[in-house]
Amino acid sequence: MRLRVRFAETDQLGVAHHSSYVIWLEAARIEWLRERGLSYRELEESGLSLVVSSLSVEYRQSAQFDDEIDIEVTLQEVRSRQLVIGYRLRRVADGLLLATATTTHIAADRMGKAVRIPADWLAAMLASC
């Protein structure tokens, strides 16, 4: 998944604000699902969400305004009710590794109750590992 750093995502240090990466991870994750035939929008409409239960980011180099960034997404761990997803963010221009990250997700229904991840979702995610 490729994106370009928006001006609004910079801060007064002249680099992308560290909270912007968290939003990019989400966009990359949803694109990664789409490539596997999985629509996060439809999942949401069916009443399920993949809630973020934990997040960690290691920042290595700063991304700057207008930089193009590639985000590589990998499925790190799958259980019936939990996913761990890994990310590597690289600057397109020179391949420099900007950051690595991990997010953990729990499937939840509309009341916030933990539920099983649908079997067809697990299959589609695992098939493409």
Give the separation between CA 24 and CA 118, rounded to whole angstroms. 25
66: which DSSP letter? Answer: T
Q: How far is the CB of 22 from its own copies (least distance, A)?
A: 4
Residues whose CB is less than 8 angstroms from the CB of residue 48 and which lie 6 or more positions away in sequence, other chains included: 107, 108, 109, 115, 118
Q: How far is the CB of 40 from its own copies (least distance, A)?
A: 7
From residue 103, how far is each of 53, 54, 107 by CA, in Å? 8, 6, 13
Select 39 or 46, whichever has its Cβ closest to its own copies: 39
Q: How far is the CB of 109 from its own copies (least distance, A)?
A: 11
Token pair, residue 124, equals: 């589609």
In the complex, the residues that contact its own copies under the rule CB under 8 A are 4, 6-8, 10-15, 17-19, 22-23, 26-27, 30, 39-41, 44, 49, 51-59, 62, 65-66, 112
Q: How far is the CB of 55 from its own copies (least distance, A)?
A: 5
Token pair, residue 99, equals: 């950051």
Select 53 or 76, whichever has its Cβ closest to its own copies: 53
Residue in this structure with the two tokens 């991990």, named with its chain if needed: 102
Select 46 or 54, whichever has its Cβ closest to its own copies: 54
